[in-house]
Amino acid sequence: MKGLYFQQSSTNEEITFVFQERENLPVTEDNYVKLQVKACALSQINTKLLAEMKMEKEFFPVGREVAGIVLDGILPLDSEDPGLCEAVRVHEHYLVHKPEKVTWTEAAGTIRDGLRVYTALHYLSHLSPGKSVLIMDGASALGTIAIQLAHHRGAKVISTACSLEDKQFLERFRPPIARVIDVSNGKAHVAESCLEETGGLGVDIVLDAGVRLYSKDDEPAEKLQLLPHKHDIITLLGVGGHWVTTEENLQLDPPDSHCLFLKGAAVAFLNDEVWNLSNVQQGKYLCILKDVMEKLSTGVFRPQLDEPIPLYEAKVTMEVVQKNQGRKKQVVQF
């Protein structure tokens, strides 16, 4: 039985993906189940986090968002089994039932982004009806689910588009997005647009897709064009606002902190792995996974999935995903 693994070079710079033969799964222990994998979604591997958690191995399993028989869920960070394999052994505490109306690819392709969006908008920023939300890069797989959850909760949504194609996609959204800000040409001012849309009050919640931290001379050209500066985010935040950031190296200078203090605003870091790092949160974690499946079943979540790919194409596709070059969610179908 083959599984996909990634191998990191000694310099920690180059990552290669390899198929390896696996031994047959051991006899199932108490509270563990054997899962016949039907679909597995592909997501970027955070090698820096693995290093900081002292979880580096010569070969690390690839693919954690799986759907199959008996159940479906997200394999924990320390799982020794790759999801990109015909069968895996997993503890029942990491699984939830898949509704009949939901396909295997939909379940695997939505579960991780659904978890991230719930973490960002529900637990970190307390989304509620009437609030205004800025979702950066709304046409991405994560951004799409975030917009759908915000609309479902009765929020007013503003989003940015990174290309003309993304802009057209967002403008077709139903319910409609209050304002789509096209940042592809580098001329749009995100802060000004948000303040104008909110009557100068600023937005209540910001979910970014990365930010610029330094001056123009110190940032790569593509980052300059598509990402707002951290000062822009702070400027457009309203009083008591929440900024949920995916920028793990965010650096706030004293003037930045003082401005946030005057607004009574908060900054939170989106790291969905925290749910698996402490058993204390297990109940909330399973509640989120169950709710994501329910929203998928009722049509609240309509994920952006690419055409399913066979297992033999997973290695090449994972290389693209790791470089963050894809837009739609990639799912391997067995």
Question: What's the mean per-residue pLDDT of the chain?
Answer: 86
Quick one: average pLDDT of 296-317? 91
CB 213 within 8 A of CB 247: yes
User: End-to-end CA distance of the chain, in Å?
Assistant: 13
Angle between helices 282-298 and 104-118 (to 10 degrees): 130
Q: What angle do CA 128, 131, 135 make, to 5 degrees?
A: 100
Segment 88-123, tens digit of pLDDT: 877 777 888 999 999 999 999 999 999 999 999 999
- With CA atoms as reference, report the closest residue to 74 among 63, 61, 83, 65: 65
Q: pLDDT by residue (tens digit) across 194-218? A: 999 999 999 999 999 988 887 655 5
Domain 2-110+280-333 fold is Quinone Oxidoreductase; Chain A, domain 1 (3.90.180)
Categorise residue 126: left if φ over 0, alpha if ψ from -120 to 50, beta otherwise.
Answer: left
For residue 231, give the amino acid letter: H
Asked if pLDDT for residue 1 goes beyond 90, the answer is: no
pLDDT at 227 over 70: yes
Can you spell out the DSSP letters for 236-283? HEEEEEEEEE--TT----HHHHHHHHHHT-EEEE--TTHHHH-GGGHH
Which amino acid type is present at position 282? Q
Longest dimension (CA), the chain: 62
Q: pLDDT band at residue 34, thresholds of 50, 70 and 90?
A: confident
- How far is it, in rounded angstroms, from Cα 178 to Cα 175? 9
| Structural contact between residues 125 and 153, judged by C-beta atoms closer than 8 angstroms | no
Mean pLDDT, range 26-43, rounded to an integer: 78
> Are 39 and 108 in contact, with CB atoms under 8 Å apart?
yes
pLDDT given for residue 80 in this prediction: 67
pTM of the model: 0.88
Distance CA 41, CA 58 (A): 23
- Identify which has the larger pLDDT, 172 or 74: 172
Tell me which residue of 171, 120, 180, 170 sits closest to 150, measured CA to CA: 120
Count of CB atoms situated within 10 Å of the CB of 250: 17
Tokens of 241: 């606002």
Average pLDDT rounded to a whole number, residues 291-312? 92
How far is residue 142's CA from residue 136's CA, in Å, rounded to a whole number?
10
Domains 2-110+280-333 and 126-270 share a fold: no
Q: What is the DSSP string of 154-202?
A: T-EEEEEESSHHHHHHHHT-SSPPSEEEE-TTS---HHHHHHHHTTTS-
pLDDT recorded at residue 289: 92
Other CB atoms within a 10 A radius of the CB of residue 331 amount to 27
What's the number of CA atoms in the CB half-sphere (13 Å) around residue 32?
A: 15
* Type of residue numbered 218: D
Q: Where are the domains of the chain?
A: 2-110+280-333, 126-270
Top mean pLDDT of 85-99, 224-238, 257-271 is at 257-271
Cα 88 to the center of its chain, rounded Å = 23
Overall fold of domain 126-270: Rossmann fold (3.40.50)
Higher pLDDT, 60 or 301: 301
Cβ 166 vs Cβ 189: under 8 Å? no
pLDDT in tens, 146-180: 999 999 999 999 999 999 999 999 999 999 999 99
Examine the pLDDT at 181 and tell me if it is beyond 90.
Answer: yes
Chain-centroid distance, C-alpha 288? 14
The token duo for 187 is 């001329």
